């Protein structure tokens, strides 16, 4: 995954409040990913794809036998893994059962962040180093809370450029409105994002080649269907496994998330991408909406060092200018895209790319340059011969 996070931790907690407490406590060290409801198979699969070396397991009196068995089962399959139990610190029975099952330590819910982070630092020093796979494809995210943006238009063109560079590329269009990437290129699809989640264990080269929509240039597109569940209802565990599978089949993935509201699933994308393109224009009202989300994430400790500002529909004689926007957002400006309303409208209405319609236009040239810059980040990546999904499918 992305190098902007030092570690990934897995957690099974009672509720979202407990998960958010843990995420806040460990934000300086990495991301805490929810491991769902406590399925052993799902937890082990997540350990494989996240390269996590530490797992938090919540305990309570009602499910203590099953929770203790889960800890024992995980450690039997992954003896080098460290388990930290969570629960009521005043309940000695929980503490004793956790230690008997093999947990390295016990943390009471609501403990101070410094105590939790200190414990994790001490445990991490004793654990063997786990090197993330270098075979995972590049992941670029285009994001803005704006719903009236040209997110699909820009994502289409960036992905087309990366594909043209010779890399196997996927455009994952989860922006609002749904399915714009397909409509803009005059394409239809019978296999969508929700289908990929439902067929997670079958997601191999054969399924991708037969089900994923493709452009003439070979760019694959996976988009929302009208009936797919909203992104915020997608569990981080499912999303993490889907991304990991896709990154082993594609050298680069461009994700359009424009118009999405804040959620754990959205933060999973943002935290694990190689390049975050924060998409805005000079509209002060939209800038305020962008900054509200950006500042909230910073307050929660999310690391955004991989973020860059992409300024669209730019008018040079209108304030604020790009330098001011960069300082206001606290992000380096990666590109400034011309307004070019007529060219954009013609491309949308005719269902052809800007590269075909107006290759010499400033907007087209800027998008080509931006796409080439993204392509350089994933040059030389090759698909592995065997993925963890294929091994998991074979063993089951």
pLDDT, tens digit (0-9, with 9 covering 90-100), for 80-101:
999 999 999 889 999 999 999 9
Cα 49 to Cα 31, 245, 246, 255, distances in angstroms: 14, 8, 12, 19
pLDDT at 383 over 80: no
CA distance 53 to 81: 5
Which fold would CATH assign to domain 7-126? Rossmann fold (3.40.50)
pLDDT at 390 over 90: no
CA distance 385 to 136: 12
CA distance 391 to 42: 14
Tell me what the pLDDT averaged over the chain comes to: 89
The structure tokens listed for 329 are: 């957002």
- At 133 the pLDDT is 56
CA distance 241 to 381: 20
State mean pLDDT over 310-330: 97
* Three-state secondary structure of 50-95: HCCCEEEEECCHHHHHHHHHHHHHHHHHCCCCEEEEEECCCCHHHH
Q: Do domains 7-126 and 138-376 have the same CATH topology?
A: yes
Give domain limits for the chain: 7-126, 138-376
Record the pTM: 0.84
pLDDT at 238 over 90: no
CA distance 75 to 31: 22
Comparing CA positions, the residue from 231, 232, 65, 254 lying closest to residue 171 is 254
Which fold would CATH assign to domain 138-376? Rossmann fold (3.40.50)
Helix/strand/coil for 44 = helix
pLDDT at 144 over 70: yes
pLDDT, tens digit (0-9, with 9 covering 90-100), for 255-289:
999 999 999 899 989 988 999 999 999 999 999 99
* Three-state secondary structure of the chain: CCCCCCEEEEEECCCHHHHHHHHHHHCCCEEEEECCCCCHHHHHHHHHHHCCCEEEEECCHHHHHHHHHHHHHHHHHCCCCEEEEEECCCCHHHHHHHHHHCCCEEEECCCCHHHHHHHHHHHHHHCCCCCCCCCCCEEEEEECCCCCCCHHHHHHHHHHHHHHCCCCEEEEECCCCCCHHHHHCCCCCCCCHHHHHHCHHHCCHHHHHHHCEECCCCCEEEECCCCCCCHHHCCHHHHHHHHHHHHCCCCEEEEECCCCCCCHHHHHHHHHCCEEEEEECCCHHHHHHHHHHHHHHHHCCCCCCCEEEEEEEECCCCCCCHHHHHHHHCCEEEEEEECCHHHHHHHHHHCCCHHHHCCCCHHHHHHHHHHHHHHHCCCCCCCCCCCHHHHHHHHC
CA distance 194 to 393: 20
Helix/strand/coil for 210 = helix
Query: By percentage, how much of the chain surpasses pLDDT 90?
Result: 69
Per-residue pLDDT band for 1 (boundaries 50, 70, 90) equals very low
Tell how strand 220-223 and strand 82-87 pair up. Answer: unpaired
φ and ψ of 107, to 5 deg: -125, 130
Cα 118 to Cα 83, 122, 301, distances in angstroms: 15, 6, 16
User: Which range (69-73, 156-160, 241-245) has the least confidence?
Assistant: 241-245
User: Which range (112-121, 126-135, 226-235, 358-367) has the least confidence?
Assistant: 126-135
Longest CA–CA separation in the chain, Å: 72
């Amino acid at each position: 995954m992305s190098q902007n996070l030092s570690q990934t931790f897995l957690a099974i907690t009672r509720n979202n409040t407990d998960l958010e407490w843990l995420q806040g406590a460990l934000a300086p060290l990495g991301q805490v990913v929810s491991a769902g409801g406590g399925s052993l198979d799902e937890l082990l699969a997540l350990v494989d794809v996240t390269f996590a070396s530490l797992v938090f397991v919540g305990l309570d009196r009602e499910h203590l036998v099953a929770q203790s068995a889960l800890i024992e089962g995980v450690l039997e399959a992954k003896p080098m893994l460290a388990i930290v139990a969570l629960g009521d610190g005043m309940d000695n029975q929980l503490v004793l059962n956790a230690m008997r099952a093999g947990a390295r330590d016990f943390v009471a819910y609501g403990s101070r962040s410094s105590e939790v982070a200190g414990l994790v630092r001490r445990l991490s020093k004793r654990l063997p180093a786990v090197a993330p796979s270098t075979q995972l494809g590049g992941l670029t995210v285009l994001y803005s809370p704006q719903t009236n943006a040209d997110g699909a238009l820009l994502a289409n063109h960036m992905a087309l450029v990366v594909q043209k560079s010779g890399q196997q590329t996927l455009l994952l269009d989860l922006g609002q409105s749904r399915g714009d990437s397909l409509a803009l290129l005059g394409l239809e699809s019978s296999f969508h994002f929700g289908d990929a989640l439902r067929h997670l264990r079958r997601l191999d080269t054969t399924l991708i080649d037969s089900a994923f929509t493709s452009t003439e240039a070979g760019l694959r597109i996976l988009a929302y269907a009208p009936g797919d569940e909203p992104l915020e209802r997608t569990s981080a565990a499912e999303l993490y496994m889907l991304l990991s599978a896709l990154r082993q089949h594609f050298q680069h993935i461009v994700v359009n998330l424009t118009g999405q509201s804040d959620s754990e699933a959205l933060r999973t994308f943002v935290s694990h991408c190689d390049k975050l393109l924060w998409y805005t224009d000079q509209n002060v009202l939209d800038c305020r909406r962008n900054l509200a989300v950006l500042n909230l994430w910073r307050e929660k400790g999310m690391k955004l060092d991989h973020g860059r500002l992409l300024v669209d529909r730019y008018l040079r004689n209108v304030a604020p200018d790009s330098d001011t926007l960069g300082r206001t957002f606290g992000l380096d400006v990666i590109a400034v895209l011309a307004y070019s309303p007529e060219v954009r409208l013609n491309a949308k209405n005719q269902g052809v790319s800007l590269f075909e319609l107006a290759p010499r236009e400033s907007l087209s040239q800027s998008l080509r340059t931006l796409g080439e810059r993204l392509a350089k980040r994933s040059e030389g990546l090759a698909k592995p011969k065997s993925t963890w999904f294929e091994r998991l499918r074979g063993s089951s």
